[in-house]
Structure formats: C-alpha cells, structure tokens
Structure 1
C-alpha cells in the first residue's frame, strides 16, 4: 500500500504499469474504490496480489467538525486500515506548507487544544511522532515489511561514475559544490506525467514520447510544452521570467477503471 499525496499516486501508477506489462491478460485484474474513494485497489486475481493507494496528505487525521476541517496532530485512526498490509510505503510533507485555498484544513488540534495555526515545521514534527508511535505499537514486523531491501543487496544504484565524482570532490581542498542531478532524478523519476507530458492526460507509461520530460521541467521551474524546443533565455537573463507554480493535478481518482490501455505502450526490455 502506498500512503501519501501525489508522489505516492505516481509511484502507485508506475508500479501498476510495470506489473500490467508482465501479466499475460487483463481478465484477472480487478479495480476497486473503497472507503469513499480514499482507498484505491487494483488486484491481480490470478497472482493473489493487490496494490493499494491510500490518499493522505498529512498521514494524521483531518476530521470535519462543526467549526470546519481540523488537522489532528495526535490522531492516526486511519492506521486501522493499514494494519493488515504486507508492505507499507509512506510519504508526506509536500502539503504541509500550503496556505489559502490549497490548505486542506481550517484548524489544528494538538495536545487537546484547537488553534487556528501553528508553526508548520513544529506541526510536521508532531505528526511524524504520532505516526512513529503508531508504527511502534501497531505494525507487526513479522508480517509487514519495514525494510523491504537492505542497501547492500538492493538491485539498483547510481552509475559508478557518480561515486567516482563524489570521491574526487571530497578530496578537493577548495570548496566545490556538486549539483547531483542524477541522484535527484532517482528520487522522483516520473514527477507529474499528466501535467508535463503535453498530452493533458495521465500517461505515465509513455514517457519516451515526450520531447521534454517532467524532470527537466521541474529543474528549470518552467513548464516547457512538448511542441516547444527553445526556452526564451533573454527573459531568463533579464530577470523578466518567474517560475510558475502548476496546480493542475490531474491524477485519476479511480472512480473509473484504471486506464490500462495507456500501459500497452511500455517499452519491453
């Protein structure tokens, strides 16, 4: 189960596309939307495997009260739905600093007191401690994986050249700063495919078709269209260009069947 925001959604979609490419037919694939569209499940019936997504911006609870939506930093009742899962993958932070219309709550409750707002880093740390207590008290390590792979045996890694660069830079006496784009790209390879791929749809399975992938767009801070190959460097140099913030989140809610047809374009090894 992936638990988190759009980063978790992208990871979930990407894994499903890879699994779909490996199964001989879609006849045994079942899609479900549960708990008021909070949980999306895709089950590969013949293999007795389910890949699930639990949407949670903050991991802790957000409840609708008479005063409005309350972010409860000491409560993680949603954990009751996570207990029986074999592998849990958590993600949070992206939404903690949001304000205004993008803020998903009106009040914060901490230690029994309700406030209009508190320092976001303090709130984040408090929520993580609540989540950590849940892990210690409710996760059965005999069933649920907390470390799926050890670093020494994980079947991937950075290119060897990357290690060579870091080793050499460590031995330089004068300060040299390395912007490790390769490492950064490994953290989130697909970014928001539906926003940046130029097709205006969820297309995580055809990244090779776009001229400008999402990673380069996010590094530049510029939403480069697929039919554009030149960035106006004059605007950049003269300071007239401001990196826009895109809020065009077009992730599927699974109210309809997962778009398996998009996955057919995967490049087979």
Structure 2
C-alpha cells in the first residue's frame, strides 16, 4: 500500500515521504518498513543472500520516536513469495534458520517490535495504533494467483469465514505488551469490498482512492476524538483527518503539534 500513501502525500504537499501542511500545525511522515524488523545480508555457502533479522528492529526506527501519534502495520509482505519461502531467510543473532515458516517468523518479528515499543515509547506523549491487514482477493490467496476481483462492481454478500492467522498473531502479541496499543481492525469490514481494487491494472491487493481507505481513516478519527475528549483538547476536524490520517501496508505516523508541543523535525534520509 505504499503507492497510495505516496499519492496522498503528493496531493497534499507535492512530496512523497513527508510534509508540513500549512493549514494544520502538524507534520505527516511516511517511514517505509514493510517488515518492521531489520533487513541484512549474510554469507550462506559461497553466496551472499538477503536475510530478515527477526530479532532486531528496523534500523530506521529512530524516525518513529517522539511522534504524538504513531500507526504501525505489517503482514502484507509476510508471504512465502516475499521471504524466499522461509528458506535461509530468517536470521536471529548470527544464525540463519535453514527453514522457518512465515507464521512463526511473524510472531518473532512482532515480539521484537513490541519490545521496542515498550522500551522506547512514552505513553504520556505517544498514542500507538496497530492496523490489521487489508485482505486481498486472489482466488489462490497469494499474490499472482488467479485474480477474483476482476470485473467486481459490488461488495461481497458474505466474508470468507476464514480467520486471519496473521492478525491473530498480532493481537496475541499486543495483549502481552506493557504499552497500550489501539487495534484498528479493518480486516473483516474490508473483506467484503472486493469492488475497491484498481481494475485497470488487475490488482486484487491494493485499494483505490478515494474509497475504502477513507473509512479506515474515519475509524482512526473516532479513536482520536475519544482520546482528545478525555484530556479536554480540541480534536482535529474530520476534513483535517481525511487529509492527514494516511495508512499504508507499511508503517506511517502523524505528529500533531502546537506551541506547547514542539515539532518532531527528523525526516527520512
């Protein structure tokens, strides 16, 4: 989903990674980290191969510190296709697993992320959200399998009835955290919307804008209104949140600032 966050940032500010909308006292930044943990290279046999360090947070995590609102998501890339089917791909310490299934690896990666959040997030300043996965509509379940969204013009009348194992893992990890994390559960509602994928490129994974992601933003807006009302602070308007509440299948964060809350000024390299 990095495509639509880049497009929205470009529409708002003519940039694709971060901006300061002049009408609002805030900064919006997109910090791409599809796995949330660190990628590396390792010698296996006589070849250098890419690995995923599931015991080490992504090295760009310093960008995530200090935001007033931080929204994480992952899962979209945790597939056999993106992870060499788990063969000589997942690394812990100096050891590479000859094979590790994607669900076990995701759980380990999520635990690494959770530990980082618990250690480096100040709950008095930062609200942490985790967004569940956006369902794809490939008949085979995986990217490049037969597309079932082609020609769809109406929502499905029922969902698949199949529980999302990756979301279940994320929920279990979040329940063990010391930090309060708000779960933005968009999976079930999004599964009905087979009609919201970009038909022009036969893509049954990403979503069109405007469209379903606007509803995800409304969910975020509801949570922000509730939290702001508890501390008697004026919440941002609905129009403002539609501009600023940006989601992706990578992580992104929003930082709301006023004269009493200095801006977080770091930006991605």
TM-score interval w.r.t. the shorter chain?
Answer: 0.3 to 0.5
Q: TM-score, normalised by structure 1?
A: 0.45
More relative contact order, 1 or 2 (CA 8 Å, 6+ apart): 2
Q: TM-score, normalised by structure 2?
A: 0.45
